[in-house]
Structure 1
Amino acid sequence: MVSPVTVVKAEGPKLVPFIKATCVYFVLWLPTSSPSWFSALIKCLPIFCLWIFLLAHGVSFLGDRSSARKILAGLIFSSLGDAFLIWQEQGYFSHGLLMFAITHLLYSSAFGMKPLNPRAGLVVGVISGISYALLYPYLSGPFTYLVGVYAAIIGFMAWRAIAGLQLTNDLWTWTQLSACLGAVLFIMSDLAIAVNKFCFPLPYSRAIIMATYYAAQMLIALSAVECQDADVARKIA
């Protein structure tokens, strides 16, 4: 098993553009009250950099790993979702919801169905159900059903990410842990969005939402490079 320090040394330089783009977003902190294509670009730029992060591993890497291709496709749909959410007050929130639903389906497919781990599925299902039940009184119109479907989809994605993490007998890998943490942070980000939009204003909502979102996407992108563990170890040794 490759150590986290080894992974940081190998993958860290490839993440520098993402880190810089994320800093640009938080430094500029463009007002959401004036949506524009420039603000959409700044918001999407860190995700564009994660495309580059995966592409930097080579065409053969993506060609050999269907999971990496699915995560790259998920990042592309995420960018579309981010752009739609820039104009959510103009009626594009549901469009963004759809893009992220597709993203989570792609991530779920990338994580796979083995091991099944029904216990993890039960726990995630209960948490998702409770979250939706708490949101339900505040929902109206199509969002009553759209939010429910979305909660089920992101819950399924989280189940598949968590199910792959085997903490016993030292069977876990850093990429499994990365996928698991990324999925949990994605749920936290989306739950903050839902509470802030449908229930009540959440203090520091935008900072919480975007910090957890970018961290989640970075961790999920990192989870795509597991097949290079052995090569990484040889290069760093």
Structure 2
Amino acid sequence: MVSPASVVKSEGPKLVPFFKATCVYFVLWLPTSTPSWFSALIKCLPIFCLWVFLLAHGISFMTSHCAAHRILAGLIFSALGDAFLIWQEQGYFTHGLLMFAITHILYSSAFGMKPLNLKAGLVFALISGLCYSFMYSCLSGPLTYLVGVYVALIGFMGWRAIARLQLCNDLWTWTKLSACIGAVLFIVSDLSIAVNKFCFPVPYSRAIIMATYYAAQMLIALSAVECRDETHLKKMN
């Protein structure tokens, strides 16, 4: 098992630009009432840094590992979704929803279908159903169906991330744990968006949404480097 200290030593420096970009976002804290291309750039900058983080592991690594380039593709669609949501009050919310739906499909594909872990799938199906039932009365028009599909997709993504963990069988790795925590944080972020937008105001909603979102994306990006870094880190120890 690769130690957390070795992981930090190997991957930490590559994530410094991401942490700096995230700090810039929270320090500037640009008002959402006046959307602009500059505010879109500041919001997307941490995700751009995660692109660089993955590409820093080498083009050959990215092209030879399906999970890695699918997660990179997911991050690209996430940035598009972030940009659309800057102008959500101008009618681009469904565009952002579509971009993030594609992101969850890509992440689910990266996590794979083995092991199946049907028990975890049933738990996520129940949680997804309860969340949608809670929001259903607050939805209207096409969003009634679009949000339902989105909830199913993000629930599926969460299932596939957690299904791989297998803590009881001692078959887990730090990257699988990273994907699991990242998926859960992504669900928390999106649930906060939905409740705040459709149901009732959530205190400190923007801070909660963005903090959990950036953390989720970082952890999911970290989960893509397992194939290369497990061997590399063992050589370092």
TM-score for both structures, normalised by structure 1: 0.99
Is residue 2:90 matched to residue 1:108?
no
Amino acid at match of 2:231: A
Aligned to 1:23: 23
Q: CA deviation at 1:233?
A: 2.2
Matched, 1:48 2:44: no
What's the counterpart of residue 134 of structure 2? 134
Task: Return the alpha-carbon distance in structure 2 between the equivalents of residues 16 and 190 of structure 1.
Answer: 25
User: Per the alignment, in what secondary structure is the counterpart of residue 202 of structure 1?
Assistant: coil
The aligned residue for residue 124 of structure 1 is 124
TM-aligned CA deviation for residue 63 of structure 1: 1.6
Instruction: Report Cα offsets for 1:158-193 as digits up to 9, x if no partner.
Output: 000000001023211000000000000000000000
* AA in 2 matched with 1:163: A
Instruction: Please give the alpha-carbon distance, in whole angstroms, between the structure 2 residues aligned to 1:204 and 1:47.
Output: 22
Structure 1 runs of 4+ off > 6 angstroms?
none
Q: CA deviation at 1:64?
A: 1.5
> For 2:234 and 2:209, how far apart are their aligned partners in 1?
35
Question: 1:74-113 to 2 correspondence within 5 Å?
Answer: 74-113=74-113
- Structure-2 separation of matches of 1:141 and 1:3: 50
* 1:33 counterpart letter in structure 2: S
Q: Tell me the distance in 1 between the aligned counterparts of 2:139 and 2:3.
A: 45
In the comparison of the two structures, how many residue pairs are matched? 236
Tell me which residue corresponds to 1:231: 232
Equivalents in 1 of 2:231, 2:125: separation in Å? 35
CA shift digits 1:35-76 (9 cap, x unpaired): 000000000000000000000000111021110000000000
The equivalent residue for 1:170 is 170
Quote the residue 1:217 is aligned against.
Answer: 217
Identity over aligned pairs, percent: 79
Letter in 2 for 1:116: L
- TM-score of the two chains, using structure 2 as the length reference: 0.99
The match for 1:149 is 149
- Gaps of at least 5 residues in structure 1 are none
Does the residue aligned with 2:137 lie in a helix, a strand or coil? helix
* C-alpha separation in 2, matches of 1:198 and 1:153: 19
CA deviations on 1:1-58 (whole Å, 9 max, x unpaired) are 1111110110000000000000000000000000000000000000000000000000
When the two chains are superposed, the root-mean-square deviation of aligned CA atoms in Å is: 0.6
Partners of 2:150 and 2:170 in 1: how far apart? 34
Corresponding residue of 1:38: 38
Q: Which runs of 5+ in 2 are unaligned?
A: none
